[in-house]
Amino acid sequence: MFTDGRSKRLILVAHCVLNQNSISDGTAEFPAMNKEAVDLLLQSQVGIIQMPCPELHCLGLDRGNLHGAAQPVLVENSRIRRSMKRRSTARTLSILTRQVVFQIEEYRKHGFDICGIVGIDRSPSCGVNTTSIGNREVEGEGVFIEMLCKELRKRHIRVGMVGIKATSVRNAISSIRRLLYYA
């Protein structure tokens, strides 16, 4: 089964790697996507699974603040994180998490290699190494990544994960390469 031309290699990426239009106002670093990261993935012939944007699903495009771009990024990110931790977002986050885990399990069941997950550091939702709390960038996971990791552990699924920053392209490319070729 699945012995055609496909690579059977996949990587999951935070939604905004492929769609900068989805992120909170004032934080986009690219007009459309993180081109360097996407170019690397295309050259590597790895299938790209775009994870859902949890903030867009839970809070909307404006993240519940039409004037979010007027705030310093860490202040607005911290506000977004608090909003994402509300009881009202828990059901949506749980659904999104289960959808991502289902895809990982389904591909693995059929012999596909999941190279890893690429999150966005400093993000209140998709941070892997750092997130925004108390108007600062601190060590820790974003709300969505935290839930995703918990669900993966519960199901005994191990997947490599890196957090990248658009402002540090060289480090981002190096981190993604590690997932693709050394995981």
Write out the residue range of the structural domain in which residue 24 sits: 9-182
Examine residue 151 and state whether it is found in any structural domain, yes or no. yes
Enter the tokens of residue 106.
Answer: 């389904």
For residue range 32-64, what is the model confidence (pLDDT) as tens digits? 999 999 999 999 999 999 999 999 999 999 999
* pTM over 0.75, yes/no: yes
Residue 168 located in a structural domain: yes
Number of compact structural domains in the chain: 1
Tell me, yes or no, whether 167 lies in a domain.
yes
Helix residue spans in the chain (DSSP H): 15-18, 35-43, 54-59, 73-84, 87-109, 143-154, 169-182
Q: Per-residue pLDDT tens for 124-163?
A: 999 999 999 999 999 999 999 999 999 999 999 999 999 9
14 within a domain of the structure (yes/no): yes
Is the residue at 3 inside a domain? no
| Domain annotation covers residue 136 | yes
Is residue 2 situated within a structural domain? no
